[in-house]
């Protein structure tokens, strides 16, 4: 009897210890490194944001906000003339090369796309492409449009360039987007570029916030529920034929990062042409799954395509948080062996 009681007591203590351990709060999550910077009047003050999904077995690397801002300032010039576009390509190439990438240029009739790729561990896994356009309109330094996309693509390249993942990672910086998506169409029309390409992530204006009530507009084509009437969220649009690609961003998102609004787009955007104005469009028309992340451009940013689109108008914490959203999702997607195609039962 005494021996049985002791066994029962030890068992109860062990159960209590297991229960106590399971109920402990999770360890603090690392935060993206963001150097303090003056916040423009239009941008709400944000607190530093945790960056990593708490349940991932191989945690994503952490974005360095100060590095994003340094790159942004280095690109603080008009990127329209041939000389300035060449200067931009030199900066991109130097940055990628320093991060260990081999860089190639793909010229087309009116410009040059910059391409870099590293292999995956599975020879049968399809490529994931992360891209942004590096040109601006005449007369604008294009800090938000689209130096922010470029610097986040470069940060992805730095953080994930030597990471072992199932899928290959390809970084593409497109020229002549502002001339009518000329660079991305030229890229998508080369069959060798589409071979084994499973998904595309396009980064298009990621750094502007506005805090005045009603400062965020919504296109009439959309019935989207926004977190607020302020411009403090990141929007992501993706084709309904590849919902796993779109959903990966919300699945790897944390509430402490900028709010994320996901918008599934049916019929390749033919019913919502406002979403066909960035470099994901040529891939949709080629049947390749693609998403486009944006701060909504002219629907929020009064400096869009103006001389005033400069780094000092941007929200550095918002930009770093959006970069971490991208890194988190891309890290996950690179290790997904499953297709990005929508299952028949999930199609809307």
**What number of residues does the chain have?**
348
Which position has the token pair 């590096």?
Answer: 134
pTM of the model: 0.84
Question: What distance in Å separates the CA atoms of residue 165 and residue 245, rounded to the nearest whole number?
Answer: 17
What's the pLDDT score for residue 148? 98
Closest CA to 51 of 38, 70, 65: 65
* DSSP H or E stretch at residue 292: strand 289-294
What's the pLDDT score for residue 345? 52
Domains and CATH numbers, the chain: 31-346 (3.40.630.10)
Question: What distance in Å separates the CA atoms of residue 133 and residue 155, rounded to the nearest whole number?
Answer: 15
What's the pLDDT score for residue 248? 98
What's the pLDDT score for residue 285? 97
CA torsion through residues 278, 348, 270, 182, sign: positive
What's the pLDDT score for residue 322? 98
Cis peptide before 178 (omega within 30 of 0): no
Query: HSE of 183 in the Cβ direction (CA atoms, 13 Å)?
Result: 25
Question: What distance in Å separates the CA atoms of residue 122 and residue 250, rounded to the nearest whole number?
Answer: 26
What's the pLDDT score for residue 346? 63
Rg of the chain, C-alpha, whole Å? 22
* DSSP H or E stretch at residue 172: strand 169-174
User: What residue ranges of the chain have pLDDT lower than 50?
Assistant: 1-31, 35-56, 348
What's the pLDDT score for residue 186? 98
What's the pLDDT score for residue 32? 60
Question: What distance in Å separates the CA atoms of residue 50 and residue 187, rounded to the nearest whole number?
Answer: 36
What's the pLDDT score for residue 196? 97
Alpha helices in the chain (DSSP H): 2-22, 65-74, 82-98, 148-160, 182-188, 191-194, 243-251, 281-285, 316-334
What's the pLDDT score for residue 228? 85
């Amino acid at each position: 009897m005494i021996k049985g009681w002791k066994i029962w007591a030890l068992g109860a203590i062990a159960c209590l210890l297991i229960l106590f351990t399971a109920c402990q709060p999770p360890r603090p999550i690392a935060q993206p490194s963001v150097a303090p910077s003056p916040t423009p009047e239009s941008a709400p003050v944000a607190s530093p944001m945790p960056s990593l999904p708490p349940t991932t077995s191989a945690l994503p690397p952490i974005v360095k906000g100060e590095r994003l801002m340094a790159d942004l300032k280095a690109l603080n010039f008009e990127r329209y003339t041939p000389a300035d576009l060449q200067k931009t390509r030199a900066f991109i190439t130097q940055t990628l090369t320093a991060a260990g990438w081999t860089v190639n240029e793909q010229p087309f009739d009116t410009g040059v796309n910059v391409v870099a790729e590293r292999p995956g561990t599975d020879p049968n896994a399809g490529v994931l492409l992360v891209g942004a356009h590096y040109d601006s309109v005449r007369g604008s330094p294009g800090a938000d449009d689209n130096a922010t996309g470029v610097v986040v693509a470069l940060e992805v390249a730095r953080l994930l360039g030597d990471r072992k993942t199932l899928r290959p990672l390809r970084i593409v910086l497109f020229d002549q987007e502002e001339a009518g998506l000329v660079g991305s169409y030229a890229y998508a029309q080369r069959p060798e570029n589409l071979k084994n390409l499973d998904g595309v992530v396009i980064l298009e204006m990621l750094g502007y916030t506005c805090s005045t009530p009603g400062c965020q507009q919504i296109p009439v084509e959309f019935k989207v529920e926004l977190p607020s009437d302020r411009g403090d969220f990141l929007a992501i649009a993706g084709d309904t034929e590849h919902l796993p690609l779109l959903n990966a961003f919300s699945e790897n998102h944390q509430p402490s990062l900028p709010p994320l609004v996901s918008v599934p787009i049916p019929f390749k955007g033919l019913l919502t042409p406002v979403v066909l104005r960035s470099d994901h469009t040529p891939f949709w028309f080629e049947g390749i799954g693609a998403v486009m992340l944006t701060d909504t451009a002219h629907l929020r940013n009064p400096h869009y395509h103006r001389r005033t689109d400069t780094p000092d108008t941007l929200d550095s914490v918002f930009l770093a948080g959006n970069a971490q959203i991208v890194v988190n999702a891309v890290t996950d997607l690179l290790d997904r062996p499953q297709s990005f195609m929508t299952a028949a039962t999930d199609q809307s």
